[in-house]
Amino acid sequence: MEWLSTHSAGLGVILNAAMLLVWMVYLNIFLVSYLRQRRQCILITQGAGGGLKARCFISNLGLEPVYVVDVLITLSGSDKRHTVNVTDRTQLTDRELENPREATNQGPLKTGDHVSIGEFSTLLDRAVAGAPEGLALDEVERVEVTVVAATAARGSLVGARRRFALERDDNGHVLRALAMMAEQITSRAGRRTLRRDLEGRLGIVQETRR
């Protein structure tokens, strides 16, 4: 007892430091968990068919809803590279549309939701037709699908991209993913590039502050 009484001040400092350390660990765990829950996760997948007849699905696995603003297809091959906007479904006629929402790939995606943006064959046909130098499908070696989305949490644009190899077999063309998951575009530089490119496509001119 006498020893405790003599060293009570030092023990108090040690206990307070230990409690502070415990609280810092708990706070760090809480922050990591919170940031992980708010982390964006947009998937770009193939399904509901084989070959180029497979559909391209966009899924939102983040806990925050997103609004799909833009969908881009980039074709690479034969020393050429072309990026084409396929957001609007221009191949659909008014008679085929039961809902105006079907005329565009834009729209909100709640957490856990997914949407089909069409068959890969249709997306590639539109991308090839929109290539300014007339890149033929047989010349294409790589296909990149990029999704640009807006989030309320970040108040800015985010995105995801997934790359595929376009191969040929006895049955025609086949798309093979080059990565298991879509690459998430969340860095400040990446988001700035998404915004700049989108503003360029929309013809938006930033006002110069005086």
Spatial CB neighbours of 89, under 8 Å, sequence gap ≥ 6: 102, 103, 104, 105, 118
Do 46 and 96 fall within a single domain? yes
pLDDT digits (tens, 9 = 90+) for 89-136: 655 444 444 555 566 778 888 888 888 888 888 888 888 887 776 677
Do 21 and 83 fall within a single domain? no
Which residue in 149, 147, 148, 183 sits closest to 163, CA to CA?
183
Do 30 and 109 fall within a single domain? no
With respect to residue 207, please indicate whether it lies within any of the assigned structural domains. Answer: no
The pLDDT > 90 percentage for the chain reads: 14
Q: Comparing 67 with 172, which gets the higher pLDDT?
A: 67
Q: Comparing 34 with 93, which gets the higher pLDDT?
A: 34
pLDDT at residue number 164: 93
Do 21 and 56 fall within a single domain? no
85: domain range?
40-202
Do 30 and 57 fall within a single domain? no
Do 14 and 108 fall within a single domain? no
DSSP class of 133: T
- The whole-angstrom separation of Cα 123 and Cα 4 is 77
The pLDDT > 70 percentage for the chain reads: 77
- Overall number of domains in the chain: 2
pLDDT at residue number 103: 64
Do 115 and 67 fall within a single domain? yes
Do 72 and 88 fall within a single domain? yes
Do 58 and 93 fall within a single domain? yes
pLDDT at residue number 209: 43
Do 105 and 195 fall within a single domain? yes
